[in-house]
Amino acid sequence: DVKVTQSSRYLVKRTGEKVFLECVQDMDHENMFWYRQDPGLGLRLIYFSYDVKMKEKGDIPEGYSVSREKKERFSLILESASTNQTSMYLCASRSPRGEVQPQHFGDGTRLSIL
Amino acid sequence: GQNIDQPTEMTATEGAIVQINCTYQTSGFNGLFWYQQHAGEAPTFLSYNVLDGLEEKGRFSSFLSRSKGYSYLLLKELQMKDSASYLCAVMDSNYQLIWGAGTKLIIKP
């Protein structure tokens, strides 16, 4: 079974802080994704990565950056946290682009910005 | 634009059958996925359809009509543990998933 691990289930930070969310997968997947999920809006893609050191903007990248230094790890960075970034953050991984395969999700990080 | 529509909420009775519909308009189509998400948890993969027709997996089945831009998830012999949100997602021409907002299914005894 695919295992996607997010570093924290719950996190509370203050406005203006730099926040790091970590995600590790154990299936050697090339593709990794960061989403946020808010009530009534569904999953919205923040950033994704096709391979090490590669990154692509998703639908809502403003206020976020990412890092993919190793294949198994994909980090989401909130450069200067704001209250509108309070949300559930979900990391996912998948086998290569061009294959019709499902994404597998971590347990999620519920982030509160005070 | 790209759009996935599914009902916001549905209610059904334990032991019964429920059908959750999903309609879509996307830039290309490479497959349609269904996920289950219990409250406070991550989505888990249920099934996917690439070709028209019905795919059956135990109590769950998923149907696809590409010409109509339509899919449904059929849940039989409902159990209380089936209370969850069900997410429909379409893989577009770039192999990216476009997500619906989800259908919250409430099961009553």
pLDDT digits (tens, 9 = 90+) for B30-78: 999 999 999 988 999 999 999 999 999 999 999 999 999 999 999 999 9
Whether the CB-CB separation of B108 and B12 falls below 8 Å is answered with yes
How far is the C-alpha of B107 from the C-alpha of B66, rounded, in Å? 30
Predicted local distance difference test score (pLDDT) of residue B54: 96
From residue A90, how far is each of A57, B31, B39, B78 by CA, in Å? 16, 22, 14, 28
Residues of chain B with Cβ-Cβ distance to A90 below 8 Å are: 42-43
Predicted local distance difference test score (pLDDT) of residue A99: 75
Assess A106–B contact: CB distance below 8 Å, yes or no.
yes
How far is the C-alpha of A8 from the C-alpha of A21, rounded, in Å? 8
Predicted local distance difference test score (pLDDT) of residue A40: 81
How far is the C-alpha of A69 from the C-alpha of B27, rounded, in Å? 31
Closest Cα in chain A, distance from residue B70 (Å): 18
Regions of chain A short of the pLDDT cut 50: none
